[in-house]
Chain A
Amino acid sequence: MLYDRLPTKWLITGISAVLLGLSAVLGGLDDVAPTPIPRVEAGQPFAGERLTVTAERAALIDGFPEQGVMPADGNRLLVVVATVENTSNDPLRLATLTGDADTMLPVDVDFAAESSAPTAVLVFDDGSTVSTVQPGVPVEVAFVWEVAAHELSGGDELRVDLLDRTYQGEATVYFGDRFSDDFVAGYLAFTIDDLGAGSDG
């Protein structure tokens, strides 16, 4: 019989080819439109995995001398003002390190620092620079990045990506929670305000 003499390899290859062919006929090779990243309006809360972010505005400022956050000569500070609320059960440090999630990332901006993480995160109320957000207590903060003075100016359009990561369970090798890699969960579009020296801002 033919069946007895057919090599197994041929059989497997043949079945795979038939299945792939069928999938191609049914649209398996068609382009798939990527899921569009939702646009988040200023003032609209955006709920991430552990943090709900309500971004208000973006501005350029010369510096925050009272808080000790001053850019190097020739640089200015790009500031995004947002209210953040920790929706988890534990205190959460706002990211000032590359790769930390639940933050925002201005797009197409050449930062003065090598890292795209904020230079500082300031609490609006008292200007303190280390900001751990406590569960259920919304805080208005300023995310601050240092940029070259010619990089951005007032009136420019700025896109800011909101980053998020999903909880994946308990870690096994190290201790603590395990999260997915960052992904862009939404974006904001601002027109930058130039606050100058910002003495009143």
Chain B
Amino acid sequence: MTRTTMNWRHVANGAGLVVILVIAGLVAHSTPSIAEKQAPIAVRGELGEPVAGRNILATVDAVRVARSVEASNGWAGGTAGVWVVVDVSVEARVDGLDPTLGYARLRVGETTFSASTRPGDGSIAERGMTVGIAWTGPLMFELPLDVVSSPAAANAELQLALDSDPRVDSLLVIPVDLRALDVDESIETDRPVWGAR
């Protein structure tokens, strides 16, 4: 009799251990990684509509693709790839520490491209932002031609955030179908303007 009780106790101990190990495994596998804990908070929007995050408000007006671009400041940059030009209107929503449009990226599949600073004043990349008064102007992205025509380009995403590090803050995500766009030979971009839409 005593012997049977002992055996049952052993079996229960073993089962208990297995249960604890399974729970520990589930916890270990479902714990968010550092990247997940600190991930930006994506705010999804559409082309042509205002998209509002905690600290940023933006409207993407148009997306164009061209082999060469002439900016309003006279800059005309060549590239081995193509230029994706995004006409956008961006403003800050809260008074931060000199906020800038520090994070403007185009994500195609696993690859991300940052808005070029080569055009200087001809683009609004890395420009200082003000609360309630939008900067309207182009962002130029330099991409390889085969990326623009790849299947992943149909589901490309434009990502905008204030400051260079978008973690644990709003990141505006606007889907863009780059594949549907024609590649122009050359385009001119508008002068960035402040306070107008």
6 pairs from A and B in contact (CB 8 Å cutoff): A89-B110, A91-B114, A134-B113, A136-B143, A172-B34, A175-B34
A136 touches which one: B76, B78, B144, B167 (CB < 8 A)? B144
Inter-chain contact A170/B78, CB cutoff 8 Å: no
**Residues 158-183 of A contacting B (Cβ, < 8 Å):** 170, 172, 175
Does B72 reach chain A (CB closer than 8 Å)?
no
Residue of A89, A170, A172 with highest tally of chain B CB at under 10 A? A89
Q: Is A66 among interface residues, defined by CB-CB distance under 8 A?
A: no
What size tier do the contact residues of chain A reach? 10 to 19
Binds B, one of A25-33, A96-104, A125-133: A125-133
Asked whether, in the complex, the Cβ of B80 is within 8 Å of the Cβ of A135, the reply is: no
Q: Which residues of A contact B80 (CB under 8 A)?
A: 137-139
Q: Is the CB of B117 within 8 A of A137?
A: no
The reply to whether the CB of B120 lies closer than 8 angstroms to some CB of chain A is: yes
Over the window 109-142 of chain B, the binary record of Cβ atoms lying under 8 Å from chain A Cβ atoms (1 yes, 0 no) is 0111110111110000000000000000000011
Q: How far is the CB of A42 from chain B (nearest CB, A)?
A: 20
Would you call B147 an interface residue if the criterion is a C-beta within 8 Å of the partner chain's C-beta atoms? yes
A188 to B142, CA, bound (A): 29
**Counting CB contacts under 8 A, is B186 at the interface?**
no
Closest B residue to A172 using CB positions: B34
> Which residues of B come within 8 Å of A, CB atoms?
34-35, 38, 75-81, 105, 110-114, 116-120, 141-144, 146-147, 167
A130, B77: Cα distance in complex, Å: 14
Closest to A138 in B: B80
A157 at the interface (CB under 8 A from B): no
B105, B110, B120: the one contacting A128 at CB < 8 Å is B120
**Which residue of B has the minimal Cβ distance to A89?**
B111
- What is the minimal beta-carbon distance from A172 to any residue of chain B, in angstroms? 8
Residue of B34, B76, B78, B111 touching A135 (CB-CB under 8 A):
B111
CB distance from B166 to the nearest CB of A (A): 12
Q: Are A128 and B117 in contact (CB under 8 A)?
A: yes
Q: Is A61 an interface residue (CB 8 A)?
A: no
| Beyond A126-B75, A139-B79, 16 additional pairs, beta carbon < 8 A | A89-B111, A123-B118, A126-B77, A126-B78, A126-B118, A134-B116, A134-B141, A135-B112, A135-B144, A136-B143, A136-B146, A136-B147, A137-B142, A138-B80, A172-B34, A175-B34
Closest chain-B Cβ to A89's Cβ sits at a distance in Å of 5
How distant is the Cα of A136 from the Cα of B143 in the complex, in angstroms? Answer: 7
Proximity string of chain A (108-132) to chain B, C-beta cutoff 8 Å, 1 when within and 0 when not:
0000000000000001011010111
A16 CB to nearest chain B CB (Å) = 39
The docked-state distance in angstroms from the alpha carbon of A123 to that of B141 is 15
Given A89-B110, A91-B112, A175 and B143 touching (CB < 8 A)? no
Q: How many Å lie between the Cα of A8 and that of B34 in the bound state?
A: 47
